Structure 1
Amino acid sequence: MSQLIYPNLFCFVYDIKEGLGFNKEELRDAQANFAHRLPHLSYVFKNDHNFETEYHELLPTKIDKFTDQEDGYTGYYYPVRLNDTYGLLVACSPPENSQIYSANQVIANLKKKIDDKLADQPGTLGTTWVILAHLPENYHKDWSKVAQDCYQALMGNSDPQTPADWETDLVGQGKFLGGTLFELSQYHIRPNLKYRSHRKGSNFENYNSTSLAELQVSNHVLIELYPNYSAAKIASRFNFDWIRLFCYRHKILFAYTQSRFIKQELKEGYRTIKEFMGLFQKERQSNPNLRQLKRKLLQAQYSLYHYSIDLNQFADQIRTMEVNLLNYERRVKVIQEKARKETQEKAISDYDYLSLWGWDLRSLDWQSLPNSILDFVSPHDFSFLDEFRQDFSNKYMLQVEKDYEGLSPGLILLEELINSIYGITNLDQAQRDRTFQNTVAIVGVGLAAGSMVVSLNKLGEGKNDPVRSVLTHSLKIQPPWLEPAIPLVYSLSTAILAALFTWLVIRLKERSR
């Protein structure tokens, strides 16, 4: 049976405060979702503001303590805002003494108490659990077995679809302030789920905190086991550093999750673009109808609008991952430096008796000391935490960058398609305009020529005038109608000849271009 002394359980929960393009209703929903975890702290947002801030404590008192009257278990709430994210640390532990607890039982009890405080509601971005305890003095058994029992007690009653498995979930192991750390992770994307989309008639639904939390499984566990109380006490000071590091981790994974769903929309859009282009090429070979082309132009513009939005959202997820990977790396270095200083203080305290022989440890240049000496005092090596950044960069970041490269040409193809349709419709319209203008010119010249002929007073006066002769003898037109008919015939004949001549000139000009 694994045994623990003064075990502490910490739960780090992260929720979205504001996503890109959130409207007022979505912002209220995100805030209400976080406030639901703290129903007794109705004033949690009174200390908040709308400006971006890297780290902002939401309670004037920093933490809000609680005590379980039945068994004396104590804990606290620590809500913060980290830019566009809400973070909440909930801690719980039995009374601070040297009592030995069964790991299986005490961890399960602590988790139940925290779950009750949080209404068993997972974080929108993810959740990290940290177990911190020290082992009985001179404990020489396998520490990994203790960690396994702790993990099983913590995650044993979790989602049956994602059962805890030590061998599968173990990410790495390292040393920290003389203790041993075990990192475990469960992360995968749930397929066939709905997601936020701007498209009408889409299979995706609008934002709500529940649907976003169900997009992925993102459970992260850190188990810290120490040889004594003093080492565990020093390690507990790093909780306010972990809250930032874990936030970056969950934001990276959540951005990657969103990129997978956005990719599905882009792939569908890309498929539609290729089909659309194929249909357009077929119609282009025939005699395309101007009205149909204009309808297709509107459809293509609609597709371009949504495809460009999806592609921009995809690029936003890449930028989110890049920024948070950089922040993650920097925070790991800050924790390492802080651990080094804690080790220095511990060495000065533990070996203070050396000053009796003239060895003043405070005057040493600790920065120049090799890590091997510091590790002898208090071993620490949690480089495995940085492996997350390296693995994510080499695997997931490479994947999303290749996806973006592969999907970006869809935007170019769609723009070229729209330009082609524009060209055809504009050419056809220009041709129609020219035809109309030529018709107007031909008719105008004909009418002008006819008017000029009518204005000549001597038309048809002679008896031998051919028009008069035809109208009189052949068509038998009587004198009352004869006089007005003669100039009309001359006018029409002249107009037709002038129009034909004008048409011939226009045709010759067009051919000569």
Structure 2
Amino acid sequence: MSDLIYPTLDLFLYTLKSPLNATEEEIQKNKATFLAQLPPDTQFNDADIEIEYLELTYPPQIDLQPTKEILEGYYYTVRINDTYGLQIDCSFKNQLEAQSAKYFEILKAEITQKLNSPLSTIGQTWMLSGWLPGNSPRNPEDIAKDCYCALFTGSWQPNRGRFLDATVFELSQTDNFNQSIVNVNNHINHNAHHVIIAIYPNRDSAEKAAEFYSDWMGLFCYRSKITWAYWQSRLAKESLVNHFHKVDKNRQVINQKHDSQEKQNIANSQTILNNIDNILQKYTIDLLNLSFQKQTIEINLANYQIRLALIKEKAGKNNQLDFLEKFSNLAQKKYLPQITKDIENMQLGLQLLEDTINATRSRIEVEKLERDRNFQELVAVAGAGIVTVSLIKDTAKDCKDIFQQVQFFCKYPLSASLMLGIIVSFVVWWLRKRWRY
């Protein structure tokens, strides 16, 4: 069945040039991996300047060099602030005859083959487009659904709109987050997708739409960074909760020993407190990361709204792009309030942990001081006894002075001195205890 003339598939994917806390070596590695997606002889120029939108190659569009003669396409690379963006475009050369929707499989296979090495992406968008043959009897939505099902799995539940007289459909798996959309490196899984399908009524409309590719590049970049930042915030929150549980578990161990009046090992308790301090440091870092992700969403949401407004103005009044505002509303009404609430809760958690741990540390210090005092008490009492024994032993042995009147001391000098030493130790202990209270 012939559905579309000049079916075209575009992949927009994004990777961070300099992730948070990345070393210079990691930054250069990211750059090399990104460059590996392009032909070896590509002239790449990434000027070390802060700029919102910078084309990275000369010429800006590099021939795709498809493996099949019936295909054509190009690479287009940019840097948008701190993010590399890559567009890979692939189309059927024939602009006269309509092709079946299933031919998009050929286009996707060609694009996938051009991805030379694993690229850690923060997001990607697939755009499918083409124009209807004259007097086409098929409903544009039926054609769009066939195109989607040829490339992706999942239910057909699109957002709908109009753009340059085209019927446009949007589908996404990245608006509702779960573990399945993230790979082992915590990057967006290539199987998770954001898809735009545009069915144009004629060639003129499709050619005019080609002028908007740079606008889509920016818009989809901001969208990817928002979804990426939100996912990072979910990971940060999960880490914070785990840290909280670890601290609380260690605190409970100390409290259980204290409540049961179990003899505590001060060294072990201090080790537990040091472990808690290390966890609290990680907790603080994750809390800062949570705030950073919120700021990232706020900045990119503002950029998304500005770019969308420019697209609307450029396209004219006879367009219905409200479906693209749904993502903006999602970020504004769900993502940001959720992160804000998480930050508030985790800050309260940090304060609670710090207060609890400070109290626990104070109690251990008191117990340590008490043990030191008891030890000093033992030294003082024992010392008094030992001095008494050493002073009396020789005198009692020679039966001198008062010991002449008590034959027991003369007959048993060692026992006598020990007995007096014990009596003196008891008296010293009793007096020190009385003076303390």
TM-score after normalising by structure 1: 0.69
> What's 1:410 paired with?
349
Q: 1:330-409 counterparts in 2 under 5 A?
A: 330-340=306-316, 375=317, 379-409=318-348
- The offset of 1:143, in angstroms, is 1.8
Structure 2, gaps ≥5 residues long: 386-398, 411-416
Partner SS for 2:332? helix
- The offset of 1:380, in angstroms, is 0.7
Contact in 1 for aligned 2:7/2:99 (Cα 8 Å) = no
2: CA distance between counterparts of 1:193 and 1:128?
A: 14
1: CA distance between counterparts of 2:406 and 2:108?
A: 120
In angstroms, what is the RMSD of aligned CA positions? 4.2
2: CA distance between counterparts of 1:444 and 1:231?
A: 103
2: CA distance between counterparts of 1:408 and 1:338?
A: 44
Tell me which of 58, 61, 65 is aligned to 2:59.
Answer: 61
1: CA distance between counterparts of 2:137 and 2:120?
A: 37
State yes or no: 1:145 paired with 2:142.
yes
> What's 2:401 paired with?
468
Q: Which amino acid aligns with 2:334?
A: K
Distance 1:148 1:224, change over 3 A: same
Contact in 1 for aligned 2:9/2:90 (Cα 8 Å) = yes
State yes or no: 1:180 paired with 2:156.
no
Distance 1:471 1:254, change over 3 A: same
> What's 2:125 paired with?
128
Partner SS for 1:86? strand
Q: 1:92-103 counterparts in 2 under 5 A?
A: 92-95=90-93, 97=95, 99-103=96-100
Partner SS for 1:274? helix
- The offset of 1:273, in angstroms, is 2.9
Q: Which amino acid aligns with 2:304?
A: Y
- The offset of 1:240, in angstroms, is 0.3
Q: Which amino acid aligns with 1:380?
A: N
Q: 1:27-38 counterparts in 2 under 5 A?
A: 27-38=27-38
State yes or no: 1:20 paired with 2:17.
no
Kindly provide the CA deviation profile for residues 132-190 of structure 1, in whole angstroms up to 9, marking residues without a partner as x. 3222345564221222232233x1xx5xxxx143x23x1x1112222222112233656
Contact in 2 for aligned 1:103/1:149 (Cα 8 Å) = no
- The offset of 1:501, in angstroms, is 9.6
State yes or no: 1:310 paired with 2:283.
no
2: CA distance between counterparts of 1:228 and 1:407?
A: 55
Q: 1:67-82 counterparts in 2 under 5 A?
A: 67-68=65-66, 71=69, 73-82=71-80
- The offset of 1:474, in angstroms, is 4.6
- The offset of 1:442, in angstroms, is 9.4
Tell me which of 363, 366, 387 is aligned to 1:427.
Answer: 366
> What's 1:328 paired with?
304
Distance 1:508 1:26, change over 3 A: same
Q: Which has the higher mean CA deviation after the structures are superposed, 101-110 or 297-306?
A: 101-110
1: CA distance between counterparts of 2:81 and 2:216?
A: 16
2: CA distance between counterparts of 1:505 and 1:78?
A: 91
Q: Which amino acid aligns with 1:81?
A: R
Distance 1:144 1:313, change over 3 A: same
Kindly provide the CA deviation profile for residues 200-244 of structure 1, in whole angstroms up to 9, marking residues without a partner as x. xxxxx8x5xxx6344x74311112222232222221111001011
Distance 1:472 1:117, change over 3 A: same
2: CA distance between counterparts of 1:192 and 1:138?
A: 43
- The offset of 1:385, in angstroms, is 0.2
2: CA distance between counterparts of 1:405 and 1:279?
A: 28
2: CA distance between counterparts of 1:107 and 1:194?
A: 25
2: CA distance between counterparts of 1:409 and 1:42?
A: 53
State yes or no: 1:88 paired with 2:62.
no
Identity of aligned residues (%): 33
Distance 1:51 1:441, change over 3 A: farther
Contact in 1 for aligned 2:12/2:125 (Cα 8 Å) = yes
1: CA distance between counterparts of 2:291 and 2:121?
A: 21
State yes or no: 1:259 paired with 2:233.
yes
Q: Which amino acid aligns with 1:424?
A: R
TM-score after normalising by structure 2: 0.80
2: CA distance between counterparts of 1:194 and 1:60?
A: 34
Q: Which amino acid aligns with 1:326?
A: A
Q: Which amino acid aligns with 2:59?
A: T
Distance 1:103 1:184, change over 3 A: farther
Q: Which amino acid aligns with 2:168?
A: L
Kindly provide the CA deviation profile for residues 232-272 of structure 1, in whole angstroms up to 9, marking residues without a partner as x. 22211110010111111122222233333343333333333
Contact in 1 for aligned 2:6/2:99 (Cα 8 Å) = no
Partner SS for 1:37? coil
State yes or no: 1:271 paired with 2:258.
no
Q: 1:443-462 counterparts in 2 under 5 A?
A: none
Partner SS for 1:212? coil
- The offset of 1:299, in angstroms, is 2.2
Partner SS for 1:71? coil
- The offset of 1:70, in angstroms, is 5.4
Tell me which of 103, 107, 119 is aligned to 1:110.
Answer: 107
> What is the total number of aligned residue pairs between the two structures?
425
> What's 1:220 paired with?
194
Q: Which amino acid aligns with 1:23?
A: T
Distance 1:186 1:41, change over 3 A: farther
2: CA distance between counterparts of 1:75 and 1:150?
A: 19
Contact in 2 for aligned 1:128/1:246 (Cα 8 Å) = yes
Partner SS for 1:88? strand
Distance 1:445 1:79, change over 3 A: same
1: CA distance between counterparts of 2:104 and 2:351?
A: 56
Distance 1:269 1:123, change over 3 A: closer
- The offset of 1:278, in angstroms, is 2.7
